[in-house]
Amino acid sequence: MDPAYSPSAPPAISRADVAAAAKTVIDAVLSDSGAATSPSTPGASGTSGCTRSQTGPCSLCMSVLCPAIWFNPQRMHPQVEALVYWRDPKKSGIVFGGVMVVLLSLTFFSFISVVANLSLLALAATFCFRVYKSVQQVIQKTSDGHPFKEILEMDLALPAEKVRTTSDLAVTHINAVVSELRRLFLVEDFVDSIKFGFCLWMLTYLGSWFNGMTLIILGVVGLFTLPKVYETNKVVIDEKIALVSGKINEITAKVKAAIPIGKKAEEKKEQ
């Protein structure tokens, strides 16, 4: 990890931020009817990339859980951004290929078998390289020392301050998600709970089509492809997203206008 990079301090959030945090993930697909009139697009210039507000990101947008962050290179860690956007195709290819090999192995073998075999493969490679370098030093009569000396001397201890800061951020996001789930399951807002129920209904079909490992593999493939595709075709995709978001906002507004319970919940939030 880049030593100059450190997680931001936990943001001070109000009850409105907590209530909107987990909903950001849902509203990335189903646009939030309480957002600004002009729909925000991922990574659009002049916006925060948050679907909830144009003035600044919500608490969930400060974490990797927010979909918009993967389409905004400026808000990503430089090393992660370089990998996801294929700034160095060689490094990105190695990481992507290695992750895919591990995930595909887990679909056919148990976790213990995959870990054990990969560890044995790594140990065999380092052992052979160590023997090769030792023999080479004897033949050439050099004193280069241990071939992995730099790695052995590297400080791998986790900085306590960064661990505490990361833990605080994780707790903030977990509390936000729990609070939002409580709000959705207990139907604090009628329309928002309908949106949530629709997403759950879609997940039932998704679960019948794919298992968990398949979804993870698709997620990794999407992570290494969709951001780059978006960056390459940003103008065209933004136009399509704006068109779809406008239609969804229009339909949502009509549904809220037709449901008195949704109106009351909205008025209560504004107060």
- DSSP code, position 30: S
Start-to-end CA span in the chain (Å): 45
Using 50, 70 and 90 to split pLDDT, how confident is the model at 62?
Answer: very low
Question: How far is 26 from 33, CA to CA, in rounded Å?
Answer: 12
Instruction: Compute the residue count for the chain.
Output: 271
Question: How far is 26 from 200, CA to CA, in rounded Å?
Answer: 10
The interaxial angle of helices 89-108 and 111-140, nearest 10 deg, is 130
The per-residue pLDDT for range 218-269, each reduced to its tens digit, is 989 998 999 989 888 888 988 888 898 888 888 888 877 777 654 554 555 5
Is the distance from CB of 73 to CB of 61 less than 8 angstroms?
Answer: no
The per-residue pLDDT for range 121-150, each reduced to its tens digit, is 999 999 999 999 889 888 888 888 888 888
The per-residue pLDDT for range 85-112, each reduced to its tens digit, is 999 999 999 999 999 999 999 989 999 9
Mean of pLDDT values over 43-64 = 43
3-state secondary structure of 126: helix
Question: How far is 134 from 122, CA to CA, in rounded Å?
Answer: 18
Question: How far is 174 from 171, CA to CA, in rounded Å?
Answer: 5
Q: Where are the domains of the chain?
A: 67-140+191-229
The per-residue pLDDT for range 77-87, each reduced to its tens digit, is 888 888 889 99
pTM as predicted: 0.58
